[in-house]
Structure 1
């Protein structure tokens, strides 16, 4: 849907803005609060007069040179893109592409006039031309001109997807121009308009800087203090802390933080997995004059933070002390349970087993008792003592027959009984769990396995047949096919063509199409994301998937269809399969697997499971890109001191290093794919320990025994995905 200007539809005349005091004067506020007008010189406005609002449609690129230049821009070959575009026909499209290419390669002086011309000559994307022009002028330190262009962008394109960032930049440009009153007003208006988001936090922080520049140090300190408390995990909070220290050194009076304020801040950091910062905040609290309830709550928070930061001995000391002195039984039970967890994490398994059972014995009516018994069973499970684990679990179900953990406990009892050879109990538990939605798939598989072990082939076949019918493309069905019980394989389409050929090109979305055709993929992604948010899910998904694939955005297309596919069997729709299991980045993958003698299916299984084909994916621990590589791992492979995390977002580099890393792991584990996949997720140290503990188990039994739930599910997902890729594409 085309945008409208604030004044409504307008003519497509190239000179639709009439210079006047209203159009070229910027309203500012002096420190005293009195209004003043600053006029941008007329020669600066001259370059802006042709920036018409967006029109409804654009013809596709027909200029071969421009298309070639767009391909080079997409590949970030900016110099070549600009040179190639210079041979294209004159016009706004060429100017926009060349302007962006010159800007990206660092030639802002060449970019600025090209982008100004593009704003005149290409109304459909005039707002993008203006935004890039502002970037160029800013790099050239032409603040007044950049401010004039940005004011035009904010005023004439209020519905643009760039409007929000332009409004924030208005404050930044006013600040850079030295108009701190005007900047503060712009930032405050931004926060009023957009109350949440990281940019709102940035606007608040910049408001404080404006107040400091205007001499209102107390007002600046008040904003910084609020930001430090309310947004503790933001990078602005760290800067606010430094600024507050500087202001305090300059003699600005700062009210001390109250214990309650600090406890709230620390709890927020803890909830956002910022455990070291949370611990630092909790330890800064002087709780000597606080009520006992507050002191106990603080002790619990410190103990939890120490546990999360792997300071197990310190955590246990605080938690044991809390459990012994509090008069609240529920709190004592929680502290004792966490203290037992510290023992287990510290490698003292037998002591942890006793401590878990003592929690249930001392506090049988607490909400912690059932979880503590389950954790005691896990200790024995991970020691490969399934009979002992089954004894604990049986006792738990007898003591707490209505436990909220009944399904989980029943599953663990069935699994421990299976490993211990008590097939009757295992069959009973798996049969019952096959009726529960959350457990049905794996319960059917292990029910079949249990019946096979008990020499009940008919019962096993019944379980496997049900599994194959209801979950034809799940891990367990694919795993059981090699058992010889039933070799009937689910029928999958054979893929080979481009799924774009079977998807309709949607009407409308002209800005998305135009940006894509020019190689401005990130900008096209911004536009389609805004359209998706506006239209809601379920509307024209096929057409939007086509647009995503035209952009080379496999993740965007996949996300539209996630959950709509294969679990229900649908092999009759090859297009959906092609979207959900795309042959993404085929040239890069083919080259890397050939160089490293790796299974293509395994490579795609890892990539899909790690990032869902999102090149910019970043994990909480810092893994980057399609195959989620850590910068340290990449640096080691490249034999360099360090690798910028940003470089790992490049698909070619990420795929090349990720597949090479898989090859190294395959060599290390002598071709054991399960160990390789588990190591890719959980690290070699954990996998080596599991291989030793569970030596002798059959492969599927080993997978089911992996202690980390995330890793266990990850291995299943990768293996199943690899099989599906092999069957869909006939790859190795």
Structure 2
């Protein structure tokens, strides 16, 4: 319910007919029925089978710290021969090597490469590592050679080729030739480039497979600068894609111009130029998309982009009208933009009304129609017409239940119903939000309005909710049996290295591949990209893929992967010391850094809790701690929780103000309180004048709620019960 400038006599200018359309539309149900738990494609067939993790005592132990699981692994490893006995031997040996007890690991590895077919190559790798750690050079070399020869067609052999290549460089060339995408092969390529930079084939290898290398941009620049004349269109496409992934959009756009001519490549040429501030180049590229690929989805998107870039209103309207007339699937988006363009001009009141009517009548189910309805609802509320705002918000929930605005609209149906004295309608609205949009910020606000014990803005700090962790790791949906076994055993680095060779479809991955890639990245601490890969699955537009994503979103593993409990020990320790709810701290860290301990913002904020150096220095002085490292999780969380405690104390433990202050600074919050008052916390959030801070507050508390609903047994059970009862209620409504 953001406050916006309202148009004078809006409804008079729109006319009676549209007023009836907006305010008098009858609905067959008070609330639309919530989605079922089973996603299907248009033919009614299941589109994505979520595999169950095999029952295994060792898989359960793999989620525990090495010291805690050691005794049980010992018992299993010494027991009768079985799948779990092999797994226990492998995991125990891996733990012992990592703990510096390699000699104790060797007996568990004896003949394991013969017994454990799924991880045979990795059993040999562990044996070589154990011998290396104990200084048994001959046995180490023998094990590496056996791995290289017996498993020459397996990616794990690259580890042996890498080690053997330190003495005989021919092994390195073999590694690059057989498995160019393996991380060790890329490490070899980087080493060879340092010895001789003029090797374009190695630069191309990095361009195709080095997406995770922090310095990959420098390699791409060297390749395009020194060897542009030798590159083929497919090479440019690889270079463009990697630049795009690294958000080097200007360079990506230039490379896409030389890539194979496809609608997507042509569009990204223009989009890259637009994001780099090259307007004329972007417009030229977008025009080519429309001319060359008029039937592609990228054509109307290009027209909408050109409307954004138009130099005057007439030019913008020309592009928008072309979308409206030629691309009915995107007409709603164009009509909404047209509405926003002409509405400020009082002389265009008739046109404004016509555009609104066309959008709401002909494209009523689109997200654009939802946005218009919500804009009008906000204006009604600002004018004091709560009944009108309530009716429009309810239409968003009824007509556009999948819109990004639907959860917010449904919540405000409840708030405005309370204002109108409709208590039963308010409760139904809040229950609907919890049932239909359980992951949303507005689900948490609905839970608080219903009196659930989940913490409100004024009480959430003191909450200490109990947490229950899942017994096993989630199951990757793609990849080999070897990959899945490694992942279930918590051997994340090996799984990640293997996945780099198996994931050959990076530019257009399947749903299963993208979810798996996210899991694998999370396993090795690439949290920013891992969370992004999983969260961006909802952007899929193809119907079958949308159904697959919907099926995946019904799984707890999907949500727990989006909301991982990283750095749990230092968070728990310092939250307790600073008297803070550890889930609130976790939620803030997820928003600030996605758990990337070395991340640095454009403003210079550092580490997990994104502390500015000046703030960190001030906090350290208060803690009498002259030495600290903001990349060290313990130091960063200690200083960050002290500061979060300080913002809480500044505002009498009001977590809304404390969290907003953490983002915008205490001075801004004080001004907003004086300006807006605090009679209604939800209204206060909507009135926050900094869009970044408003979004930040909602994101942090949305994170908190998701951690609570995913890991707190009481809240999880209550939500499940509500969802089951709400479906029955919805079906019984007239």
Distance change >3 Å, CA 704–CA 624, structure 1 → 2:
same
CA distance in 2 between partners of 1:662 and 1:141 (Å)? 49
The equivalent of 2:323 in structure 1 is 366
Matched, 1:596 2:563: no
SS at match of 1:717: helix
The equivalent of 1:438 in structure 2 is 402
Whether the aligned pair in 1 keeps the contact of 2:131 and 2:140 (CA below 8 Å) is yes
The equivalent of 2:729 in structure 1 is none
Matched, 1:190 2:168: no
C-alpha offsets along residues 54-99 of structure 1, whole Å, 9 cap, x if unaligned? Answer: xx999x99xxxx968969xxxxxxxxxxxxxxxxxxx999997665
SS at match of 2:321: coil
The equivalent of 1:223 in structure 2 is 201
The equivalent of 1:543 in structure 2 is none
How far 1:189 sits from its partner (Å)? 2.1
Whether the aligned pair in 1 keeps the contact of 2:588 and 2:700 (CA below 8 Å) is no
Distance change >3 Å, CA 97–CA 481, structure 1 → 2:
closer
How far 1:148 sits from its partner (Å)? 2.8
How far 1:430 sits from its partner (Å)? 1.7
How far 1:606 sits from its partner (Å)? 3.7
The equivalent of 2:157 in structure 1 is 167
Whether the aligned pair in 2 keeps the contact of 1:413 and 1:429 (CA below 8 Å) is yes
Whether the aligned pair in 1 keeps the contact of 2:441 and 2:698 (CA below 8 Å) is no
The equivalent of 1:409 in structure 2 is 372
CA distance in 2 between partners of 1:722 and 1:283 (Å)? 42
How far 1:715 sits from its partner (Å)? 3.9
Whether the aligned pair in 2 keeps the contact of 1:447 and 1:463 (CA below 8 Å) is yes
The equivalent of 1:80 in structure 2 is none
Whether the aligned pair in 2 keeps the contact of 1:602 and 1:719 (CA below 8 Å) is yes
CA distance in 2 between partners of 1:424 and 1:389 (Å)? 27
The equivalent of 1:149 in structure 2 is 143
How far 1:305 sits from its partner (Å)? 3.0
Structure 2, unaligned runs of 5 or more = 1-55, 72-88, 292-298, 325-329, 456-462, 474-481, 503-510, 513-521, 523-529, 535-548, 716-734
How far 1:714 sits from its partner (Å)? 1.1
What CA RMSD, in Å, does the superposition of the two structures yield over aligned residues?
A: 7.1
**Corresponding residue to 1:279 among 245, 250, 255:** 250
How far 1:272 sits from its partner (Å)? 1.2
Whether the aligned pair in 2 keeps the contact of 1:263 and 1:285 (CA below 8 Å) is yes
CA distance in 1 between partners of 2:387 and 2:308 (Å)? 35
Distance change >3 Å, CA 597–CA 481, structure 1 → 2:
same
SS at match of 1:366: helix
CA distance in 2 between partners of 1:146 and 1:663 (Å)? 53
CA distance in 1 between partners of 2:660 and 2:350 (Å)? 29
Distance change >3 Å, CA 205–CA 656, structure 1 → 2:
closer
CA distance in 2 between partners of 1:174 and 1:470 (Å)? 57
How far 1:660 sits from its partner (Å)? 2.5
Matched, 1:695 2:676: yes
Whether the aligned pair in 2 keeps the contact of 1:588 and 1:655 (CA below 8 Å) is yes
Distance change >3 Å, CA 663–CA 414, structure 1 → 2:
same
- Correspondence 1:693-732 to 2 at 5 A: 695-696=676-677, 698-704=680-686, 707=691, 711=696, 713-718=698-703, 720-721=705-706, 728=714
C-alpha offsets along residues 672-715 of structure 1, whole Å, 9 cap, x if unaligned? Answer: 422443566x6659976994898347321343466459636514
Distance change >3 Å, CA 302–CA 668, structure 1 → 2:
farther
Aligned pair count reads: 546
The equivalent of 1:48 in structure 2 is none
The equivalent of 2:728 in structure 1 is none
CA distance in 1 between partners of 2:382 and 2:434 (Å)? 24
How far 1:433 sits from its partner (Å)? 2.1
Structure with the greater alpha carbon radius of gyration:
1
How far 1:304 sits from its partner (Å)? 1.8
Which gives a bigger RCO, structure 1 or 2 (Cα 8 Å, sep 6+)? Answer: 2
How far 1:432 sits from its partner (Å)? 1.7
CA distance in 1 between partners of 2:620 and 2:140 (Å)? 41
How far 1:427 sits from its partner (Å)? 2.5
The equivalent of 2:75 in structure 1 is none
How far 1:429 sits from its partner (Å)? 1.8
Whether the aligned pair in 1 keeps the contact of 2:290 and 2:303 (CA below 8 Å) is no
Whether the aligned pair in 1 keeps the contact of 2:342 and 2:352 (CA below 8 Å) is no
CA distance in 1 between partners of 2:435 and 2:267 (Å)? 52
Distance change >3 Å, CA 482–CA 490, structure 1 → 2:
closer
Whether the aligned pair in 1 keeps the contact of 2:257 and 2:269 (CA below 8 Å) is no
Whether the aligned pair in 2 keeps the contact of 1:131 and 1:150 (CA below 8 Å) is yes
CA distance in 2 between partners of 1:261 and 1:566 (Å)? 35
Range that drifts further, 443-452 or 398-407: 398-407
Distance change >3 Å, CA 155–CA 321, structure 1 → 2:
closer
CA distance in 2 between partners of 1:189 and 1:322 (Å)? 39
- Correspondence 1:303-342 to 2 at 5 A: 303-307=273-277, 315=278, 334=304, 336-339=306-309
How far 1:259 sits from its partner (Å)? 10
- Correspondence 1:322-401 to 2 at 5 A: 334=304, 336-339=306-309, 359-360=316-317, 363-366=320-323, 371=333, 374=336, 396-401=355-360
The equivalent of 1:452 in structure 2 is 418
Distance change >3 Å, CA 437–CA 357, structure 1 → 2:
farther
Normalising by structure 2, what TM-score? 0.52
How far 1:717 sits from its partner (Å)? 1.0
CA distance in 1 between partners of 2:706 and 2:91 (Å)? 42
CA distance in 2 between partners of 1:325 and 1:666 (Å)? 55
Whether the aligned pair in 2 keeps the contact of 1:662 and 1:676 (CA below 8 Å) is yes
C-alpha offsets along residues 89-124 of structure 1, whole Å, 9 cap, x if unaligned? Answer: xx9999976654338xxxxxxx6x666566449888
C-alpha offsets along residues 338-380 of structure 1, whole Å, 9 cap, x if unaligned? Answer: 447xxxxxxxxxxxxx967862366422369865775698899
- Correspondence 1:224-623 to 2 at 5 A: 224=202, 226-227=204-205, 230=208, 233=211, 235=213, 237=216, 240=219, 256=229, 264=237, 267-269=240-242, 271-275=244-248, 278-280=249-251, 300-301=270-271, 303-307=273-277, 315=278, 334=304, 336-339=306-309, 359-360=316-317, 363-366=320-323, 371=333, 374=336, 396-401=355-360, 402-403=362-363, 404=366, 405-435=368-398, 436-438=400-402, 441-457=407-423, 459-460=425-426, 462-464=428-430, 467=433, 475-476=441-442, 478-480=444-446, 523=491, 588-589=570-571, 591-600=573-582, 602-606=584-588
Normalising by structure 1, what TM-score? 0.52
CA distance in 1 between partners of 2:409 and 2:708 (Å)? 21
Distance change >3 Å, CA 202–CA 434, structure 1 → 2:
same
CA distance in 2 between partners of 1:272 and 1:92 (Å)? 36
CA distance in 2 between partners of 1:203 and 1:443 (Å)? 55
CA distance in 2 between partners of 1:659 and 1:498 (Å)? 20
CA distance in 1 between partners of 2:97 and 2:290 (Å)? 71
Structure 1, unaligned runs of 5 or more = 1-55, 72-90, 104-110, 249-253, 308-314, 341-353, 506-510, 539-547, 549-554, 571-575
SS at match of 1:274: coil
